[in-house]
Amino acid sequence: SQLLVRFFTLSLNFGWNLGLKIEPVSSYLLHQFCCLCVRVMDVDRIELVKAQLQPYLRQGEEYVRRFEEFARQIPPTQIYIAFGVVFFTTFIFYLIRVYKHTISNTIVLSGLSGGGKTVLFYQLRDGSSHQGTVTSMEPNEGLFVLNSESSKKGKIKAVHLVDVPGHSRLRPKLDEYFPRAAGIVFVVDAVEFLPNCRAASEYLYDILTKASVVKRKIPLLILCNKVDKVTAHTKEFIRKQLEKEIDKLRTSRTAVSDADISDEFTLGVPGEPFSFSQCVNKVTVAEASALTGEILPLEQFIRERVKP
């Protein structure tokens, strides 16, 4: 239709260029006549489409009429029950989907530098020790099935493991992972524990008073690494020393104004010596040796938080 109007317009222009004296009024009337012809053609086309769609419209009306007759034969109680079942089933599936998305598979390895966190990371990932000497200045992250479970058949949920370096300048990185962590592993060097007891206690105190840790009640494992060494301290000794140091820290830090510790939570019970059993989140202590691959307590802790 547009081509037809264009054709008549070009014809008029061509005649004018040849010197044909076409009156402006006649030219305008001819143009309007062409537009009217196009409209008639469009109307005819619309009528043709309507005629083609008419059988489908009648068929649709017939289906609606049959459905209404069928619905009238069903008692209202059954209709209400059917709608209720559909709504309830949809709601249950929605809750399951939301619940799956809220379950975290992130485990955070933390602790002072030199404790063996990165070696533990590689032991969990591929069973290698990297000669036991790995220094990292950037967080190691990996999503994988634990090496000890790689030979198992069936679907096993992968673990998102994060190894955060223990250097004081890099510790703020932990704040990025705590809000979505399913568990925290605090690695302690069982051989060099006493010289680092104060620093380890301060680091652990900061973690246990984090709002993101306390509010979500994230379980924490204190893993005493390098117990294969003869000079290593036992987990009972390490636990008691940490509790004593944290109790001292709790006393000194409660003297600080609330404005300075607005993002922290109070540890323990006032007037009683501190113990990890008083924490809101569950705290356990275990032993391991990253160098020899004896990390079963660590694997059990991970699988308790990240179900296979």
Q: Which residue has the tokens 């034969």?
A: 73
Judge whether residue 182 has pLDDT over 70: yes
Judge whether residue 76 has pLDDT over 60: yes
Per cent of the chain over pLDDT 90 is 42
Judge whether residue 96 has pLDDT over 50: no
Task: Round the average pLDDT of the chain to a whole number and report it.
Answer: 78
pLDDT, residue 208, reads 93
Stretch 58-68: mean pLDDT: 76
Give the range among 77-91, 180-194, 211-225 with minimum mean pLDDT. Answer: 77-91
Find out whether 109 and 139 touch, Cβ atoms under 8 Å: no
> Model confidence at 18, in pLDDT bands (50, 70, 90)?
very low
Find out whether 163 and 136 touch, Cβ atoms under 8 Å: yes
pLDDT, residue 239, reads 97
Burial 251-285 (b: 16+ CB within 10 A, else e): eebeeeeeeeeeebeebbeeeeebebeebebebeb
Stretch 236-251: mean pLDDT: 94
Burial 87-97 (b: 16+ CB within 10 A, else e): eeeeeeeeeee
State the first-to-last Cα distance of the chain, in angstroms, to the nearest integer.
67
pLDDT, residue 93, reads 54
pLDDT, residue 160, reads 94
> Model confidence at 231, in pLDDT bands (50, 70, 90)?
very high
- Distance, C-alpha 149 to centroid of its chain: 24
> Which pair of structure tokens corresponds to residue 148?
């000890």
Stretch 238-256: mean pLDDT: 87
pTM of this structure: 0.65
| Architecture (CATH level 2) of domain 106-305 | 3-Layer(aba) Sandwich (3.40)
> Model confidence at 269, in pLDDT bands (50, 70, 90)?
confident
Short-list 132, 237, 124, 120, CA closest to 190: 237
pLDDT, residue 87, reads 65
> Model confidence at 104, in pLDDT bands (50, 70, 90)?
confident
Residue with the bigger pLDDT between 41 and 83: it is 83
Judge whether residue 129 has pLDDT over 70: no
pLDDT, residue 9, reads 54
Give the range among 107-121, 132-146, 147-161, 248-262 with minimum mean pLDDT. Answer: 248-262
Q: Could you give the residue range(s) of every CATH 3.40.50.300 domain in the chain?
A: 106-305
Judge whether residue 241 has pLDDT over 80: yes
Give Cα separations from 78 to 64, 73, 90, 105, 243 (angstroms): 20, 11, 18, 44, 64
> Model confidence at 244, in pLDDT bands (50, 70, 90)?
very high
pLDDT, residue 173, reads 82
Residue with the bigger pLDDT between 31 and 273: it is 273
Burial 142-156 (b: 16+ CB within 10 A, else e): eeebbbebeeeeeee
Which pairing describes strands 220-225 and 283-287: parallel, antiparallel, or unpaired?
Answer: parallel
Task: Give the Cα separation of 306 and 219 in Å (integer).
Answer: 12
